[in-house]
């Protein structure tokens, strides 16, 4: 049918009949690697993989095939990347390094509170980087308290200055924006500070901040537009509440803060605000840290309660009223129970919404070129080579359906995609076992399965869970609680006790988890952990001496001061 179609279009095609050539089987293997398709026919047009018979006919119907068949498409660029964040920049830079003509479009639509920022996307401007620096500011406060036990004599009255911190952090963020722009220039990537929107196949409209429109074409496109914070859709939310997009450059100290939501973003922000000495309440709709190990999530919450964070469980806000203007002002929040009719009210200086993020896939013209989007989540489904339903359009980062929303994941996916598209490489992004850390004042690091998920997949009787509470050495003299930090591994009994879940709640959990994640990629087993010599005295060494199984029910309490 495809041969007939091409013949009817007058197209001369190069046909390789796999069953009639000696190396047909190897060609099929490679095709399967490159395209994720073993079946034939497997159609390429001008180096773009179209797919099998159905997809070729669909492309014909939509007009895409005719576009692809144009002998010399004379596109402006080999690749246009929409979105200059973690995924987009890594992809663009790699493609340019491979000698391609590349353009990046990046424009930040200001938040409802009017906050905007420079090049680099979420991570650099309103995510990982400023968050981590504020986390560090909070940890320094804790260190100051601890230091007295270690003999430092400083005035009892210690104050934190929000403005000084924010100014210093924003200065660093500004320097990162600048270095990204310089890197693009050095690699000859065309950077356009405009909003990109598909208008037809292979063509986008770029609209700059002043409304000036320019059109560009490219052979291939990568969508890396990320996500933006969601709002509640209740009275007063967009007028009076802020989100993480606003918090890191807030020009005044937020004061008593209500954080709505219980994801990592919510708990991390609540954690550092409390660590800076502010009164913090977290309003939780259902559970903490959905998707994470729930035993660990509860332990994270207990560690936060120990530093004064208040949790309001099973409530959702229904209205936010402004009682007083100011920096900060005073807000009244009315909330209702998710379990009954109870209503509560609370007064706060700031309300921070951290109730999830919406993918930026709605207003970029995807429907005009037929890129499929999951209507419910707004995410773009892709195959294992990050190709969308339209063959020349790819997606990386937070917009992709079903993948971890993390900077290193977006960076890796973007870089490998460019190498496959333009460098003749085949490596695909391995999304399995991406380690992650919740940077609450006491950090929680994990890699692999949550315990409940492991039970669902492997069944309880096929698992052995080893765990212990531990007391970091630096906490002993400081007289901090001896039974807060916790280590747990989940092993698959019938796979040589392979470690399929790694969890740690303790200081520097991020640094600890990274190394164990590499070991898990290499097939870490309980025996290998036992054979590993620990580094003394560290927290990480606890994983080399785990003896108590959860099923034994033995006491794991540590002796305190």
Contacted by 416, from ligand FAD, ligand NA7, none: CB < 5 to 8 Å by type? none
Contacted by 472, from ligand NA7, ligand FAD, none: CB < 5 to 8 Å by type? none
- Residue 503 is among the residues annotated as catalytic for this protein: no
How, if at all, do strands 43-45 and 48-51 pair?
A: antiparallel
Q: Does 354 bind ligand NA7 (CB under 6 A)?
A: yes
Contacted by 232, from ligand NA7, ligand FAD, none: CB < 5 to 8 Å by type? ligand NA7
Q: Does 123 bind ligand FAD (CB under 6 A)?
A: yes
Q: Considering only 4-12, 83-91, 149-157, 332-340, which stretch makes contact with ligand FAD by CB under 6 A?
A: 83-91
307, 172 Cβ separation under 8 angstroms:
no
Tell me whether residue 263 is annotated as binding.
Answer: yes
Report the distance separating Cα 86 and Cα 89, nearest Å.
Answer: 6
Question: Which of 81/288 has CB closer to ligand NA7?
Answer: 288
Contacted by 123, from ligand NA7, ligand FAD, none: CB < 5 to 8 Å by type? ligand FAD
Q: Measuring CA to CA, which residue among 60, 20, 22 is closest to residue 40? A: 20
Q: Considering only 86-94, 168-176, 384-392, 484-492, which stretch makes contact with ligand FAD by CB under 6 A?
A: 86-94
Q: Does 374 bind ligand NA7 (CB under 6 A)?
A: no
Q: What are phi and psi of 180, to 5 degrees?
A: -65, -45
488, 451 Cβ separation under 8 angstroms:
yes
Q: Does 56 bind ligand FAD (CB under 6 A)?
A: no
DSSP 3-state assignment of 365?
coil
Report the distance separating Cα 517 and Cα 134, nearest Å.
Answer: 25
Q: Does 254 bind ligand FAD (CB under 6 A)?
A: no
Tell me whether residue 266 is annotated as binding.
Answer: yes
Question: DSSP code of 161?
Answer: -
DSSP 3-state assignment of 134?
helix
Tell me whether residue 303 is annotated as binding.
Answer: no
Report the distance separating Cα 82 and Cα 337, nearest Å.
Answer: 41
For ligand FAD, which residue of 180, 195, 198, 392 counts as binding (CB under 6 A)? 195
CA atoms within 13 A on the CB side of 212: 6
Binding residues for ligand FAD, rule CB under 6 A, total 34
Q: Does 111 bind ligand FAD (CB under 6 A)?
A: no
Q: Considering only 17-25, 119-127, 368-376, 539-547, which stretch makes contact with ligand FAD by CB under 6 A?
A: 119-127
Q: Considering only 259-267, 342-350, 426-434, 504-512, which stretch makes contact with ligand NA7 by CB under 6 A?
A: 259-267
Residues 210-249 that bind ligand FAD (CB under 6 A): 224-226, 244
How, if at all, do strands 257-260 and 350-353 pair?
A: parallel
Distances 254 to 274, 390, 439 between C-alpha atoms, Å: 11, 45, 20
Question: Which of 262/333 has CB closer to ligand NA7?
Answer: 262
228, 357 Cβ separation under 8 angstroms:
yes
Tell me whether residue 388 is annotated as binding.
Answer: no
Report the distance separating Cα 147 and Cα 522, nearest Å.
Answer: 40
Write the binding mask 219 to 238 for ligand NA7: x where contact by CB under 6 A, - elsewhere: -------------x------
For ligand NA7, which residue of 93, 125, 243, 264 counts as binding (CB under 6 A)? 264
What residues contact residue 518 under an 8 Å CB cut-off, 6+ apart?
Answer: none
Peptide bond into 495 cis (omega under 30): no
Q: Does 452 bind ligand NA7 (CB under 6 A)?
A: no
Q: Is 41 exposed, middle or buried (0-12, 13-18, 19+ CB in 10 A)?
A: middle
Report the distance separating Cα 312 and Cα 441, nearest Å.
Answer: 19
The total number of residues shown for the chain amounts to: 561
Tell me whether residue 213 is annotated as binding.
Answer: no
Contacted by 51, from ligand NA7, ligand FAD, none: CB < 5 to 8 Å by type? none
Residues 357-416 that bind ligand FAD (CB under 6 A): 360, 364, 397-398, 405-408, 410
Binding residues for ligand NA7, rule CB under 6 A, total 19
Report the distance separating Cα 30 and Cα 426, nearest Å.
Answer: 9
Nearest approach, Cβ of residue 357 and ligand NA7 (Å): 4
Q: Which of 172, 202, 503, 536 is catalytic?
A: 536
DSSP 3-state assignment of 502?
strand
Nearest approach, Cβ of residue 411 and ligand NA7 (Å): 13
Q: Considering only 45-53, 181-189, 260-268, 538-546, which stretch makes contact with ligand NA7 by CB under 6 A?
A: 260-268
Q: Measuring CA to CA, which residue among 64, 63, 60 is closest to residue 7? A: 60
Distances 536 to 415, 473, 533, 541 between C-alpha atoms, Å: 38, 10, 9, 7
Q: Does 86 bind ligand FAD (CB under 6 A)?
A: yes
What residues contact residue 188 under an 8 Å CB cut-off, 6+ apart?
Answer: 96, 102
Q: Does 355 bind ligand NA7 (CB under 6 A)?
A: yes
Assigned token pair, 317: 């806000």
Q: Does 409 bind ligand NA7 (CB under 6 A)?
A: no
Q: Does 263 bind ligand NA7 (CB under 6 A)?
A: yes
Q: Considering only 106-114, 323-331, 422-430, 529-537, which stretch makes contact with ligand FAD by CB under 6 A?
A: 106-114
Report the distance separating Cα 354 and Cα 126, nearest Å.
Answer: 13
Which positions lie near ligand FAD, rule CB under 6 A?
Answer: 82-88, 105-108, 121-123, 127-128, 131, 195-196, 224-226, 244, 265, 360, 364, 397-398, 405-408, 410, 439
Q: Please enumerate, by residue number, every residue annotated as part of a binding site for NAD(+).
A: 261-268, 356
Q: Please enumerate, by residue number, every residue annotated as part of a binding site for FAD.
A: 196, 398
Which positions lie near ligand NA7, rule CB under 6 A?
Answer: 232, 260-266, 285-287, 290, 316, 354-357, 405-406
Q: Which residues are catalytic?
A: 536
């Amino acid at each position: 049918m495809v041969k007939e179609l091409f013949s009817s279009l007058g197209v001369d095609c190069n046909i390789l009949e796999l069953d009639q050539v000696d190396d047909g089987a190897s060609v099929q293997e490679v095709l399967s690697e490159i395209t994720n398709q073993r079946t034939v026919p497997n159609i390429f047009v001008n180096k773009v993989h179209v797919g099998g018979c159905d997809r070729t006919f669909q492309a014909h119907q939509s007009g895409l095939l005719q576009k692809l068949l144009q002998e010399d498409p004379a596109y402006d660029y080999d690749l246009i990347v929409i979105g200059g964040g973690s995924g987009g920049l890594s992809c663009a830079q790699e493609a340019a390094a491979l000698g391609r003509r590349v353009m990046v479009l990046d424009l930040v639509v200001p938040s409802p509170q009017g906050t905007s920022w420079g090049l680099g996307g979420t991570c650099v401007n309103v995510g990982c980087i400023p968050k981590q620096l504020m986390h560090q500011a909070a940890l320094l406060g804790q260190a100051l308290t601890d230091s007295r036990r270690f003999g430092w004599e400083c005035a009892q009255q210690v104050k934190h200055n929000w403005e000084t911190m924010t100014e210093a952090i924003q200065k660093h963020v500004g320097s990162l924006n600048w270095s990204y722009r310089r890197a693009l220039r050095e690699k000859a990537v065309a950077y356009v500070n405009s909003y990109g929107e598909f208008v037809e196949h292979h063509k986008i409209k770029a609209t700059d901040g002043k409304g000036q429109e320019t059109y560009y074409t490219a052979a291939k496109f990568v969508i890396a537009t990320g996500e933006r914070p969601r709002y509640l859709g209740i009275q007063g939310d967009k007028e009076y509440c802020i989100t993480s997009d606003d918090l890191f450059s807030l020009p005044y100290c937020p004061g008593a803060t209500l954080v709505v939501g219980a994801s990592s973003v919510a708990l991390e922000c609540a954690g550092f605000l409390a660590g800076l000495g502010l009164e913090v309440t977290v309003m939780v709709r259902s559970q903490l840290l959905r998707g994470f190990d729930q035993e660990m999530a509860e332990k994270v919450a207990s560690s936060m309660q120990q530093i004064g964070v208040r949790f309001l469980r099973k409530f959702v806000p229904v209205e936010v009223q402004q009682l007083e203007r100011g920096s900060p002002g005073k807000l009244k929040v009315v909330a209702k129970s998710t379990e009954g009719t109870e209503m509560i009210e609370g007064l706060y200086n700031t309300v921070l919404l951290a109730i999830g993020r919406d993918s930026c896939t709605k207003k970029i013209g995807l429907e005009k070129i037929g890129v499929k989007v999951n209507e419910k989540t707004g995410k773009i489904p892709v195959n294992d080579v990050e190709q969308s339903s339209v063959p020349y359009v790819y997606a990386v980062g937070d917009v992709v359906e079903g993948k971890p929303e993390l900077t290193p994941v977006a960076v890796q996916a973007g870089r490998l995609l460019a190498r496959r598209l333009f460098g003749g490489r085949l490596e695909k992004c391995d999304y399995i076992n991406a380690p992650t850390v919740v940077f609450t004042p006491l950090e929680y690091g994990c890699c692999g399965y949550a315990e409940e998920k492991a039970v669902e997949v492997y069944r309880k009787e096929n698992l052995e869970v080893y765990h212990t509470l531990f007391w970091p050495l630096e906490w002993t003299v400081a007289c901090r609680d001896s039974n807060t930090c916790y280590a747990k591994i989940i092993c698959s009994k019938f796979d040589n006790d392979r470690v399929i879940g790694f969890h740690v709640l303790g200081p520097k959990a991020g640094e600890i988890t990274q190394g164990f994640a590499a070991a898990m990629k290499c097939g870490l087993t309980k025996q290998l952990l036992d054979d590993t010599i620990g580094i003394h005295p560290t927290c990480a060494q606890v994983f080399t001496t785990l003896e108590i199984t959860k099923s034994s029910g033995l006491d794991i309490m540590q002796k305190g001061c």
